[in-house]
Amino acid sequence: MSSRFADLLEIPEGLESVLDSQVPDFAFRLIQLAEIPFDKISGTPAGILVMRVLKAEVSGSLLDDAVWDEALIQQLSRTMFEFVLRYIVEATHTDKGAVQRKISLIKDSNIRTTAMTVAQQFRQEGRQEGIFVGQIRMAQKMLRRASTPEDVLEKLPLKELQVMASALEKEILGE
């Protein structure tokens, strides 16, 4: 793969001479994250943790110590840590119970408290999603409609589930 930006563009035939001076042309550094050991990833604390999380997600190791490096996490702003934690919790193959167990092992009380707060927010959102899914299923049954497949409902954000449940309720009430 070329490391030149211009080589990544597919310019239609005949337009090369017209666009030649308009296309930025620079080299970029391609990093094969899979080939870099966790402890060799360099950069800012936030950048290091984000890269570790991306690497760990692919390898199924989001709960490994390289991701949960307290010395690194202590250097992050609370907002950045919450952002990374939300990403980890939302990762499709991450067991939320396992994440909570990992959180309970954190020694730094500030980090643990922040992590527990984010985890509690996810539990609350999960409860709300469950309520709306139940309402949607009941409304579809009352309207004698086929149920929306579980995998489709699981992918919908809370707001869309709420809108869907509300629309079905209005339909039942004839509004």
For residues 172 and 142, the answer to whether their CB atoms sit within 8 Å is: yes
For residues 94 and 88, the answer to whether their CB atoms sit within 8 Å is: yes
Q: pLDDT tens per residue, the chain (175 residues)?
A: 788 888 888 888 888 888 878 888 888 888 889 899 999 999 999 999 999 999 999 888 899 999 999 999 999 998 999 899 888 877 755 667 788 888 889 998 888 888 888 777 776 677 788 888 899 999 999 999 999 988 888 878 888 889 999 999 998 988 8
For residues 49 and 39, the answer to whether their CB atoms sit within 8 Å is: no
Which pLDDT score, from 0 to 100, does residue 114 have?
Answer: 86
Q: Residue 99, exposed/middle/buried by CB under 10 A (0-12, 13-18, 19+)?
A: buried
SS3 27: strand
For residues 168 and 139, the answer to whether their CB atoms sit within 8 Å is: yes
What's the whole-model pTM score? 0.61
